[in-house]
Chain A
Amino acid sequence: MEIASGPSTDSSAARTIPIDSSSILYEFKQQNLPACKPVLKPSYVITTFLLLGFIFLPIGLTTLCASRTVVEIVDRYDSECVPGAFRGNKVSFIKDSSLPKNCSRILKVRKHMKAPIYIYYQLDNYYQNHRRYVKSKSDQQLLHGLNSSNTGSCEPEESNNGLPVVPCGLIAWSLFNDTYTLIRGTKKLSINRKNIAWKSDRDSKFGKQVYPHNFQNGTLIGGGKLDPNIPLSDQEDLIVWMRTAAFPSFRKLYGRIEEDLKADDVIVVHLMNNYNTYSFGGKKKLVLSTSSWLGGRNDFLGVAYISVGGSSIILSIVFLLFHIKIPRPYMGKTLSSLSRKDVSS
């Protein structure tokens, strides 16, 4: 784009009254502020698109590379971890608390994974963003505990047997409670489960003096239970869970492995398959993933950048061809030779 002209104050020269005609306020009043008037000239537009393409392509490639360096092991276990007899009726299996829920999975490490390795659980078709769900918590109560009576938003998990529930609300009530133990060879891999929640949440959203109270005591048991002796600010699983996800497919951090996993390592996962996703057909996955500067493995940005960059280069070439093939009606010299037909077309 071209900056065609500076101040356009030719007409103001004829003014007879010389009242501070230079001041900005005066020019504003006369709608005569100096202005730059860009023109969409072909050369500028074509260059813009070309430049856009040449910036976007390398960014895209870098991003894609970063994403590709991330090694990720995803294992879906929700259907495998139901004993064969219950395959036809998974819901009754998961609801029967007398049945053992332990399950073992074997994961193969295909590529070398550098520490820290993040362990996520992934839920699909789980609507943490549902209108009833997402609001069903009380920030006040999480911070101030029983002192806070501002728990109206927690309905229908506000109180139980006449006693208030801490932490109240559907989100806390449906806490995810599958557990994982990872064994490499014969040695148990230590999983660091500290600092998986945001520091800001631990420090100022969840009270250090607030202990779970009357939690999961009702007739209807939702998800996991909480140790009533640990303050909420240290219940990191809860804190992570309560950062509701915006999409029905999401991963939440379970812990970190602080050592490298070598290629071809075999890892045995002992898990407790407690959480009910069967009634709504949700999937559960265990994810082991390394991390890059962009976060986890996600090709979207890279692919999108490459395609946007590519299309803008194509576009600039198309415009260039247009520019060469079709005469432009307005460029300097051609202006005078312009016929009426061109204008009204």
Chain B
Amino acid sequence: MKRFVYINDDESSPTHGLYCDNRISNRKYTLFNFLPKNLMEQFSRFMNQYFLLIACLQLWSLITPVNPASTWGPLIFIFAVSATKEAWDDYNRYLSDKTANEKQVWIVRKGIKQHIQAQDICVGNLVWLRENDEVPCDLVLIGTSDPQGLCYVETAALDGEIDLKTRVIPSACTGIDFELLHKIKGVIECPNPDKDIRRLDANLRLFPPFIDNDVCPLTIKNTILQSCYLRNTEWACGVAVYTGNETKLGMSRGIPEPKLTAMDAMIDKLTGAIFVFQIVVVIVLGIAGNVWKDTEARKQWYVLYPDNDPWYELLVIPLRFELLCSIMIPISIKVSLDLVKSLYAKFIDWDREMIDLETDTPSHATNTAISEDLGQVEYILTDKTGTLTENKMVFKICCISGNFYGNEAGDASKDKRLLNAISSGSPDVVRFLTVMAICNTVIPVRSKTGDIVYKAQSQDEDALVHAAAKLNMVLTNKNGNILELRFNTLAIQYEVLETLEFTSDRKRMSVVVRDCQNGNILLLSKGADEAILPCASAGQQTRIFNEAVEQYSQLGLRTLCLAWRELKEDEYEEWSFMFREANSTLVDREWRIAEVCQRLEKDLEVLGVTAIEDRLQDGVPETIYTLRKAGINFWMLTGDKQNTAIQIALSCNFISPEPKGQLLLIDGKTEEEVGRSLERVLLTMRTTASEPKDVAFVIDGWALEIALKHYWKAFTELAILSRTAICCRVTPSQKAQLVQILKSCDYRTLAIGDGGNDVRMIQQADIGVGISGREGLQAARAADYSIGRFRFLRRLILVHGRYSYNRTAFLSQYSFYKSLLICFIQIFFSFISGVSGTSLFNSVSLMAYNVFYTSIPVLVSVLDKDLSEETVMQHPQILFYCQAGRLLNPSTFAGWFGRSLFHAVVVFVISIHAYAFEKSEMEEVGMVALSGCIWLQAFVVTLETNSFTILQHLAIWGNLIAFYVINWIVCAIPSSGMYTIMFRLCRQPSYWLTILLMVAAGMGPILAIKYFRYTYRPSKINTLQQAERLGGRFLSLGNIEPQQRLIEKEVAPLSITQPKNRNPVYEPLLSDSPSTRRSFGQGTPFDFFQSQSRLSSSYSRNCKDN
């Protein structure tokens, strides 16, 4: 499907009005569909459907035990809250849309420049932009102020990248006069709107009298997309091709799939269990009620049962019990959880210790719903570049035609030999520097002070250009296609003929330039060694370069190979034609281009190898050390070379050096090779599983591809067995696949990365963390959490994740506890009220109990801290409790269930006996039982709170006071059912004696059991608590029962022998302190590699096979 855009279209053209106008709408609702649509949305959830059903049943007065208001009130309240939130968000979206839509823009209509609102732009309109204007819709450039037809745009809003990007007008439009642009006519053939912001495969044909009738290809380079900003360009003019919500930005706007935490799933499961329990209770009581009615109630003449039952009579009693028991599932739990979850997220946003002081970026929780999952992470999959490292590239050393440059400090730019070679003008060195300086897409911008500032899209290019400048090869100016270089004092000009762009498949980029001095055409290439060295001319020896690459990567440096070739004029002409043809194809353009490029990039003369250092971020080794101690497994997924990856892994505690650690390599080029290698590694893994050895496997992208395709099962087993893995040379989709494998084994995964290539992995993982770093904000935008530095991950998981988990665990179980408590009392009461479904409590109390009295005190549990942050950091093993879900699972839930049953018995037995005989007035007994529940729950919250802040005291005791105040107020209203009841009760000594008795009888055993466990069967948390609070010396925690892991976890759904049987021993992974190992890639790690020569040799074999 294609669309045809007629430039400068007027009303008479065939496509006028065919496409939508430029009105942007991000709104979900309109004024009219808000209510139905919002309600529909809310009622798509099971819980809400359940509550609606209950509320509707309550309208049938025959069966309702309480006033329907007791369910309708909270239900409407909850719905109103959600709807208001939605409406407010939508209103804000509407406002921002409105400002965008009403922005004034210049367009050309009927040859006249007009000032109109952005929303009135139609497809085909000519839009004029001035410097720093925001682009209102997707435009195809046709003119700029620049004589070369260039303009610069900032695409931060689109892809988060902050560098300036060059955009150029299509060749057909070059040289059109400013005045003529108003009258330009033509047609653009472009695909239907899609969301790919890196691609546009379109064609432009101008109508006479403009130039020729040729088809001119259009790429994304010829467009400026909506929400970008025009920079460094006086004006630009373009044709609107996509407008409104059909722009690239508009199309890529999507609602991300909501993520569900393991905890939510567990809560849902428990809710389901309670629901089943409720149905059972209802059926049993319903049958009992009907039997009692037929045997007993008919004799109770005062009840006056009619002799002829209507047909539905049998259902009445069960339905009454259904309503009576409906509060078993607390209506407030969803609201409470939403509330506390957004508070957890706020705590992350607010956390001062997670602000990157260097760039002043605070951490941010984009997804407010999954904080608990942070505490349950089992696998961390991390990117390397920019995540573990700074992504601040510095050129270090190089190898030029067999000579290794670099002084003792490992800095080539200070190496005398190199400087001498430069000053003497050694041709190899000059060529090498030329490639460094111009084989790139860097834009030099002269700042006001006269300095040259480079705007580079990739950090490597930036490093190379800077290094070249330092070595006297300065890129001074880029004027259209003309590049100006200054070598020593000599000014050199090159004309850029073509740029063969970098793609992750090609792994190299090239430029074709013409030397303006002598007219020679040169091909300059740079790229990864395996992309460049195989293209070397047959005669050249590349062994020395291979060695250089290997040596450099063992130092943990990033290597790039530089190469060049002189082209003959006709060869270039021939190729240029093919290239242009490939460029204008609409189908598979990228692939076609790659193929054409391949034809040119051959017989290269390799000039040398550059090595760029990317320093480790602060605190990375410590963070990894702590998190591994917490039982989290790390996988490194990187696009980098194997040796570099291993080196980085060593230097940041990822793997331990020999003899503690052992690296197992999976390689192979063919299916059988990989299979054999995989089998061997698996065997070793199985045998070493019981030893406290640190075994890791290393796999590269190619072998991974084969393993995933043919040995999925074996690889999955390997994934389960291995605590550490290094996957190098992997593509973004492979990263996502690896996440998928771990997820399919039921592990909780966290993916952390910083660049666009990590986005898929981040979105795939249970938790995606983006580093708002130098590679742009793309990853941070796609992620659930964005942090400034890798080291904040430790705090994010150990502090925020852990607390969130603990708090939600308490909050959710407590919510069930209090609902069950009141429900059990109702059930007990039904046994002494003729199993007829009478409610002991009045409607007002029931409603207030659920939504007010019991939800306020527990909300402040968001401030509870079982252990101080420092203790958790020192004893990260304690995270095990969260990972294994020890605080919220069916057995802890059973404990709360039992507690509510016990408390219900206490309250019920005491109130029926203390208020027997002449005191047995319905309203009074109801209030006594209710007060008992309120008091008990206050003490339960108190007992379960680990640290009391002023807010907790306020909420717990304030709530108790509020309970009395509210009831006194209600009791002062004559028309209320409980008029004067509370006053009467509060005057009776027996009321207070009863309450005291309930509290003592209810809490005594709980306190005793808790104390006994705390003292004689303490959990590790308790031990640490005692150590921390009593000021004793911190003790070593030792091993947290390793075998529990196997028990707690269900068997993975895969039919693999011994799933999840990975080495669960939490030995300290390194004997020496992590801080001594921070220095980068020096000393001991080398020995490791010498002993691992198997690794290196096999690696170089790989290279040659390439």
> Residues of A with Cβ closer than 8 Å to B?
2, 4-5, 8, 10-11, 15-17, 28-31, 33-42, 45, 48-49, 52, 56, 59, 63, 118, 120, 122, 126-134, 139, 152-153, 156-157, 170, 173-174, 198, 200, 204-205, 220, 222-223, 243-253, 276, 279-281, 293-296, 298, 300-301, 304-305, 308, 311-312, 315, 319, 322, 326, 328-332, 335-336, 338, 340, 343-344
Q: Are A249 and B1023 in contact (CB under 8 A)?
A: no
CA distance A183 to B304 in the complex (A): 37
Let me know if B979 and A343 touch, CB within 8 A: no
Nearest A-chain residue to B942, judged by Cβ: A38
Asked whether, in the complex, the Cβ of B989 is within 8 Å of the Cβ of A330, the reply is no
Contact partners of B964 in chain A: CB under 8 A: none
Q: Do B1041 and A344 touch across chains, with their CB atoms under 8 A apart?
A: yes
SS class, residues of chain B in contact with chain A:
helix
Chain B neighbourhood of A304, CB < 8 A: 910, 913-914, 997, 1001
When the two chains form their complex, are residues B997 and A205 in contact, meaning their CB atoms are under 8 A apart? no
The CA-CA distance from A42 to B838 in the complex, in Å, is 45
Q: Does B840 make an interface contact (CB < 8 A)?
A: yes
What separation, in Å, do the CA atoms of A222 and B303 have in the docked complex? 10
Q: How far is the CB of A108 from chain B (nearest CB, A)?
A: 22
B862-874 near A? 1/0 per residue, CB < 8 Å = 0101001110000
Pair B948/A11 contact, Cβ less than 8 Å? no
A133 touches B303 (CB 8 A): yes
Q: Please, could you name 21 A-B residue pairs with CB atoms under 8 Å apart, sorted by A?
A: A2-B1030, A4-B1031, A33-B863, A35-B863, A127-B833, A127-B836, A129-B832, A130-B838, A131-B833, A132-B836, A134-B838, A246-B920, A247-B832, A250-B918, A280-B299, A298-B913, A300-B916, A301-B997, A335-B1033, A335-B1035, A336-B1033
B679 at the interface (CB under 8 A from A): no
A127 and B303 contact, CB distance less than 8 A: yes
- A227 CA to B389 CA in the complex, in Å? 96
Decide if A131 touches B357 in the complex (CB within 8 Å).
Answer: no
A301 surroundings in chain B (CB, below 8 A): 914, 990, 993-994, 997
A329: which of B61, B355, B917, B1018 is its contact (CB, 8 Å)?
B1018
Does B36 count as interface, using CB distance less than 8 angstroms?
Answer: no
**Which residue of chain A lies nearest to B833 when distances are taken between CB atoms in the complex?**
A129
Knowing A37-B947, A245-B922, A332-B1030 are in contact, say whether A11-B912 is a contact too (CB < 8 A).
no
Contacts of A133 in B (CB 8 A): 302-303
Contact B350 A329 (CB under 8 A): no
* A300 partner residues in chain B, CB cutoff 8 A: 913-914, 916
Distance of A77 from chain B, by nearest CB (Å)? 17
Report how far A300 CA is from B910 CA in the complex, Å: 8
Contacts of A15 in B (CB 8 A): 352-353
Interface magnitude class on chain B: 35 or more
Known A-B contacts A52-B1000, A280-B300, A332-B1032; the reply to A10 vs B870 at CB < 8 A is: yes
Q: Is B212 an interface residue (CB 8 A)?
A: no
For A33, the chain B residues whose CB sits under 8 A away are 863, 949-951
Chain B residue at smallest Cβ distance from A315? B1008
CB distance from A91 to the nearest CB of B (A): 10
Q: Nearest B residue to A340 by beta-carbon distance?
A: B1038
Q: What are the residues of chain B within 8 A of A52 when measuring CB–CB? A: 1000, 1004
Query: A36 to chain B: which residues have CB within 8 Å?
Result: 947-948
By the criterion CB–CB under 8 Å, are B993 and A59 in contact?
Answer: yes
B857 within 8 A of A: no
**B303 contact set on A, CB distance < 8 A:** 127, 130, 132-133, 170
A-B pairs, top 9 by smallest CB distance, nearest first, are A4-B1029, A174-B302, A131-B836, A35-B947, A335-B1032, A340-B1038, A33-B949, A29-B350, A246-B925
Chain A residues closer than 8 Å to B921, beta-carbon distance: 243-246
Q: For residue B951, which residues in chain A have a CB less than 8 angstroms away from its CB?
A: 28, 33
| A152 to B915 CA separation, bound complex (whole angstroms) | 31
Give the distance in Å from the alpha carbon of A326 to the alpha carbon of B1016 in the complex.
9
Given A250-B917, A344-B1040, also A222-B1015 (CB < 8 A): no
* Residue from B868, B870, B990, B1032 in contact with A295 in the complex, judged by beta carbons closer than 8 Å: B990
Closest partner residue, chain B, to A14 (CB atom): B353
**Most chain A CB atoms below 10 A, which of B994, B1026, B1039:** B1026
CB-defined contacts of B947 to chain A, threshold 8 Å: 35-37
A59 to B869, CA, bound (A): 45
Nearest residue, chain A, Cβ from B871 = A8
Contact A253 B918 (CB under 8 A): yes
A249 touches B922 (CB 8 A): no
State how many angstroms separate the Cβ of B224 from the closest Cβ of chain A: 39
- Tell me, in angstroms, the Cα distance from A308 to B998 when the chains sit together: 10
- Return the CB mask of B1006-1030 against A: 1 if under 8 Å, else 0: 0110111011101010010111011
- The verdict on B1037 contacting chain A, using a C-beta distance below 8 Å, is yes
Cβ of A37: which chain B residues have Cβ within 8 Å of it? Answer: 946-948, 1025, 1029
B347 touches A29 (CB 8 A): yes
Neighbouring A residues of B913 by C-beta, 8 Å: 298, 300, 304
- The reply to whether A249 and B300 form a contact with Cβ atoms under 8 Å apart is no
User: Would you call A338 and B1011 a contact (CB within 8 A)?
Assistant: no
Partner of A49, one of B833, B1008, B1023, B1035: B1008
Among B302, B868, B993, B994, the most chain A Cβ lie within 10 Å of the Cβ of B302
- The answer to whether A322 and B1030 touch (CB under 8 A), given A39-B1025, A133-B302, A308-B1004, is no
What is the CB-to-nearest-CB distance from B286 to chain A, in angstroms, rounded to a whole number?
A: 13
Cβ of A279: which chain B residues have Cβ within 8 Å of it?
A: 299-301
Question: Which chain A residues border B1041 with CB–CB below 8 Å?
Answer: 344
Q: Quick one: which of A131, A205, A248 contacts B832, CB cutoff 8 A?
A: A248
Nearest B residue to A174, CB-CB:
B302
Report how far A142 CA is from B926 CA in the complex, Å.
22
Bound-state CA distance A301–B1011 (Å) is 27
Bound state CA distance, A336 and B1001, in angstroms? 38
Complex contact B1001–A343 (CB within 8 A): no
Closest A residue by C-beta to B911: A246
User: Given A11-B870, A40-B1015, A315-B1004, do A298 and B61 touch, yes or no (CB 8 Å)?
Assistant: no
Question: A297 — nearest CB in chain B belongs to which residue?
Answer: B917
Closest to B1003 in A: A52
Shortest Cβ distance from residue B948 to the other chain A in the assembled complex, whole angstroms: 5
Residues A170 and B949 in contact, CB atoms below 8 Å apart: no
List chain A residues, Cβ under 8 A from B1008: 49, 315, 319
Q: A300-B916, A304-B1001, A308-B1001 are in contact. Are A294 and B989 (CB under 8 A)?
A: yes
Question: Within the complex, which residue of B300, B304, B840, B989 is in contact with A246, where a contact is CB–CB below 8 Å?
Answer: B840
Interface positions, chain B 972-987, Cβ under 8 Å from A, are 974-975, 977, 979-980, 984
Bound Cα distance from A343 to B65, whole angstroms: 52
Chain A residue at smallest Cβ distance from B324: A131
> In residues 601-631 of chain B, which contact A (Cβ within 8 Å)?
none
* From B305, B949, B1012, residue with most partner A Cβ within 10 Å: B949
Interface residues of B in 937-989 (CB under 8 A from A): 946-952, 974-975, 977, 979-980, 984, 988-989
Contact of A122 with B1035 in the complex, beta carbons under 8 Å: no
Q: A222-B302, A249-B917, A304-B910 are in contact. List 14 more A-B contacts (CB 8 A).
A: A33-B951, A52-B1000, A63-B993, A127-B297, A127-B836, A129-B832, A129-B833, A170-B302, A200-B974, A246-B921, A279-B299, A296-B917, A340-B1036, A344-B1041
CA distance A45 to B913 in the complex (A): 29
B:313-354 near A, CB below 8 Å:
320, 346-347, 350-353
Q: Which of B797-847 contact A (CB under 8 A)?
A: 803, 829, 832-834, 836-838, 840
Q: How far is the CB of B802 from chain A (nearest CB, A)?
A: 12
Q: How far is the CA of A338 from the CA of B980 in the complex (A)?
A: 60
B919: interface (CB < 8 Å): yes
Q: Is the Cβ of A296 less than 8 Å from the Cβ of B1011?
A: no
Check B1004 against A132 for contact (C-beta < 8 Å): no
Whole-angstrom CA separation of A336 from B1036 in the bound complex: 9
A28 surroundings in chain B (CB, below 8 A)? 863, 951
Q: How far is the CA of A243 from the CA of B913 in the complex (A)?
A: 19
Report A-chain residues with C-beta under 8 Å of the C-beta of B1029.
2, 4-5, 37, 39
Bound CA–CA A295/B924 (angstroms): 15
Query: Does B306 reach chain A (CB closer than 8 Å)?
Result: yes
Complex Cα–Cα for A62 and B148 (A): 104
